[in-house]
Chains A and B, each alone.
With several copies, the nearest count.
Chain A
Amino acid sequence: MTTEVLQVIRSDGSVQKKLEPTLSEEMLRKLYRTMVQVRALDEKGMLLQRTGKIGFYVPSGGQEASQVGAVAALDAGDWLFPTYRDPGMALWRGASFREMLAHEFGCAEDRSKGRQMPNHYAFREMKYVSISSPIATQIPQAVGAAMAAKYRKTKEIVLTSMGDGGTSEGDFHCGMNFAGVYKAPIVFYCQNNQWAISVPLSGQTASESISVKAKAYGFPGVTVDGNDVLAVYSAVRQAADRARAGGGPSFVEALTYRMGPHSSSDDPKRYRPAAEEEEWRQKDPIDRFRNYLKKQGIWTEAWEKETWDGVRADLNEATKQVEALGPPTISSMFDDVWSSIPPVLQEQKDSLIEYLKKGELKDLGGAFPL
């Protein structure tokens, strides 16, 4: 059995008319621009890491279409439970480079107050839920939010993102099963980028596809070309409409590829053939979409340059600003464990601050404000 793969834009940019979504030119341009933003942020992130300015970075190059196409198919009020490889979902919803970078630097201005590694964003007002490192934990949480939305009889739905590796965790199973039972308004969205660090898909599961797993929970699953932003958009849109109309959960698998290393700590040469990377380079999601925009008469050389130059200028400006920001205060370490600080923790805080005030700041490098 082979799984059918939904595609809208063929590699030459021509289109399967029947499946093509009707999107405004503005929307198409925003899709492209956001994909460019993701790629530019990626380059910057890896550079900052390589030059020692930030400690870690998770690139998502190659997955621009699958991130951006999915979020674009939702309403602004829908909830996102993303992974560390979904910066595009935040950028689409209006996160600024400054906000993203303040997080990579872990500085005082970081929304998460420097408590998590880079790429673990959180944006409350965008309903972009705080990302966790433990894989797949967001999946049942997303189902809970969807159940809550249903209980409140709102029209909000939820999308949760995951990797191919993430489908192996017990929490994937729990979340999927609960959603099926409660007909929760949710889209399960898997970016199957073929690898979980060094483990290829064949080492992850023996199922004929990832989308077929939805059968185990009684709702539909489809597989789409994840490097085709319009295919992703269409599939997620359909799933979202279904959820919003009370039809319950759906599963969407997007076939894509992580072009870079798993993270700045990883070296993919150890485990995967260069030829495979090269093969996927030919399927670059930005190139593909550019071909489409060309065929639509939207794309021009000048607009391409303007887009990239604009994005890069924003990014460089943001980098400069963020480099000048300071780290969080040491006192802030004790905030947000609870809604208010209990006496035992207050004592710990007081004793650390008192100790540091007694001139022991050198132990901590000196540069950190109390």
Chain B
Amino acid sequence: MATLTLLQAVNDGLRTEMRRDDRVVCLGEDIGINGGVFRATEGLQKEFGAERVIDTPLAESGIIGTAIGMALYGLKPVPEIQFMDFIYPAFDQIVSELAKFRYRSGGQFPSPVVIRTPYGGGIKGGHYHSQSAEAYFCHTPGIQVVIPSTPHDAKGLLASAIRGEDPVLFMEPKRIYRSIKGEVPEGEYTVPIGKAAIARPGTQVTIVAWGSMTHIALEAAEKAQEEKGVSCEVLDLRSLVPLDKAALLESVKKTGRVVIVCEAPRTGGYAGELSAIIAEEAIDSMEAPIVRVTGFDTPFPYTLEHAYMPNTGRILKAIDTVVNF
């Protein structure tokens, strides 16, 4: 086992799956000779050639549209959207086409495309290089939404996504691309989609998170333990759709207190859906109202990003709230 960054794990995952299956092709802006602006595809064009690691013109709808056509044909395309903020020109292809092809054709035309895209704040990327747009896709039946928070999961979940038969939006927390390192098995393995992970076991409060927020939640949980003796369980959802509702409810029923962390704007974010599910299905177990720690209902600011994003302080405050209710 090697110690890799999350970014290296993605790279390793792509390489491993491309070696395994010649149906896998990558395409996107600057992914070839440049290896992607974050270097997630570094070295792949050299190994697999320009017909399998395809630099595209600057048009996201073209990237996803052609990827769908490749998938209909029988390939396993893995398009990259350079920043999630730039996924919107492809929104129609994703929402109207990719997510609906299998359904609208009565199962005749599945289109298993895996869209990789770096998302999220915390890199001083400002207004248009920081968004967390998962909620739009979670509300779109027909596409899975997968977000790893560790190098191990990044590679294993990516493998599952590529081997699967369904469209996947694979969101990569760019804030921790390089800062989070971990053991990653060499060669092939998979981590199943649809299973949450207990990133930290605990008994008094459940903190639900995903992607880079998992690590902020873990920090807060440490502090809560150290400073206040509160035992927090951190649930890393890993896939938002399909949701591991069983794991969510199990943790919640155990602790009776819930904090949900989501860096996207508050209104209509996925945290709301989770809160609704818990309120509907586990109200009997709740010892306190659920608290959401989220971004604000503003676009993403540049200079003030640290004030915008959920941080350990705000999570600790939420823990206080649910504990002292």
Contacts and interface: CB of A to CB of B under 8 A. Distances in A.
- Determine direct contact between A and B, CB below 8 Å: yes
Contact of B58 (A115, A196, A334): A196
B298 interface: yes
A83 B125 CA distance: 17
Interface string A126-163: 00011011111101111111111111100000100000
B266 A348 contact: yes
Interface string A86-125: 0000000000000000000011001111111100101110
A336 interface: yes
A333 B302 contact: no
A169 B69 CA distance: 18
B32 A198 contact: yes
B69 A146 contact: yes
B109 to A, nearest CB: 5
Interface string B130-142: 0000000000011
Interface stretch (B99-107, B177-185, B206-214, B230-238): B99-107
A344 B166 contact: no
Contact of B299 (A120, A136, A337): A337
B166 A148 contact: no
A79 B242 contact: no
B296 A271 contact: no
Interface stretch (B4-12, B87-95, B153-161, B196-204): B87-95
Interface stretch (A2-10, A39-47, A361-369): A361-369
Given A107-B303, A149-B73, A348-B266, A338 B55 contact: no
B92 A144 contact: no
Most chain A CB neighbours (cut-off 10 Å) among B59, B109, B126, B317: B59
A175 interface: yes
A197 B260 CA distance: 38
Interface string B241-259: 1110110000000000000
Contacts of B187: none
Contacts of A178: 56-57, 59, 62, 66
B33 A198 contact: yes
Contacts of A363: 311-314
Contact of A165 (B58, B66, B72, B124): B58
Contacts of B110: 339
Most chain A CB neighbours (cut-off 10 Å) among B65, B85, B241: B65
Contacts of A339: 102, 110, 164-166
Interface string B290-325: 000000111101111011100111100100000000
B275 interface: no
A306 B267 CA distance: 56
Given A117-B129, A148-B75, A177 B301 contact: no
A333 B307 contact: yes
Nearest to A363: B313
A265 to B, nearest CB: 7
A116 B25 contact: no
B302 A114 contact: yes
B104 A130 contact: yes
B139 to A, nearest CB: 13
A298 interface: no
A355 B92 CA distance: 34
A317 B312 CA distance: 40
Given A133-B128, A327-B304, A352 B70 contact: no
Contacts of B56: 178, 199
A123 to B, nearest CB: 8
Contacts of B13: none
B270 to A, nearest CB: 13
A140 B296 contact: no
Contacts of A170: 59, 61, 89
User: Is the interface on chain A under 10, 10 to 19, 20 to 34, or 35 or more residues?
Assistant: 35 or more
A144 B65 contact: yes
B36 to A, nearest CB: 9
A79 B73 contact: yes
Nearest to A144: B69
A343 interface: yes
B68 interface: yes
B58 A355 contact: no
Contacts of A321: none
A46 to B, nearest CB: 17
A270 B35 contact: yes
A336 B106 contact: yes
B82 to A, nearest CB: 9
A134 B141 CA distance: 17
Contacts of A251: none
A168 interface: yes
B307 A330 contact: yes
Contacts of B61: 140, 170-171, 174
Nearest to A154: B73
B86 to A, nearest CB: 6
Contacts of A158: 69
Contacts of A297: none
Most chain B CB neighbours (cut-off 10 Å) among A266, A327, A334: A334
A174 B62 contact: yes
A309 interface: no
Given A147-B66, A198-B33, A199-B29, A115 B52 contact: no
Given A137-B97, A140-B65, 4 more contacts: A166-B58, A168-B57, A177-B57, A355-B317
| 10 tightest Cβ-Cβ pairs between the two chains A and B | A144-B69, A140-B65, A174-B62, A144-B66, A114-B303, A133-B128, A363-B313, A130-B105, A342-B242, A198-B34
27 contacts: A106-B126, A106-B302, A112-B108, A115-B302, A116-B104, A120-B126, A130-B108, A141-B68, A141-B69, A143-B66, A145-B72, A147-B66, A165-B57, A168-B59, A168-B62, A169-B58, A170-B59, A170-B61, A173-B59, A175-B62, A177-B59, A327-B304, A333-B301, A339-B110, A344-B245, A345-B297, A355-B313
Interface of B: 25, 29-30, 32-35, 37, 51-52, 54-59, 61-62, 64-75, 77, 85-86, 88-89, 92-93, 96-97, 101-110, 124-129, 141-142, 144, 164-166, 194, 241-243, 245-246, 266-267, 296-299, 301-304, 306-308, 311-314, 317
